[in-house]
């Protein structure tokens, strides 16, 4: 799969769900901070094995890229 094969909204979502803690640990993106179109796109990315969601404190949902998703975002294909 290549980064260019994704829809523009999926590509945008891949760049938006990368968040970092102050110590450099990736924390992903809080679902409530994403607009509906990007939430739909990350659900599609999850189906492709490029993103996953984790439950957080008080029922929050955090989206992350999988290792494969990170590779495709960073290298353009994978």
Look up the pTM and report it: 0.82
Provide the number of structural domains found in the chain: 1
Query: Do the beta carbons of residue 46 and residue 52 sit within 8 Å?
Result: yes
Show the beta-strand stretches assigned E in the chain: 29-30, 51-55, 61-65
| pLDDT for the residue 19 | 65
- What are the b/e assignments for 50-61, b being 16+ CB within 10 Å? bbebeeeeeeee
Query: Which residue, 11, 1, 46, is CA-closest to 31?
Result: 46
Tell me the CATH number at 40: 1.10.10.10
5-9, 17-21, 22-26: least confidently modelled range: 22-26
Whether pLDDT at 28 is above 80 = no
pLDDT single digits (tens) 50-78: 999 888 888 788 888 998 998 998 898 87
Whether pLDDT at 8 is above 80 = yes
Segments forming the whole domain that contains residue 16: 3-75
């Amino acid at each position: 799969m290549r980064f260019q094969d994704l829809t523009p909204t999926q590509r945008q979502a891949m760049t938006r769900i990368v968040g970092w803690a102050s110590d450099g640990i990736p924390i992903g993106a809080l679902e409530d901070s994403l607009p509906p179109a990007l939430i739909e796109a990350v659900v599609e990315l999850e189906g492709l094995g490029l993103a996953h969601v984790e439950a957080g404190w008080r029922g929050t949902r955090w989206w992350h890229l999988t290792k494969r998703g990170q590779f495709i975002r960073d290298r353009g294909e994978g």
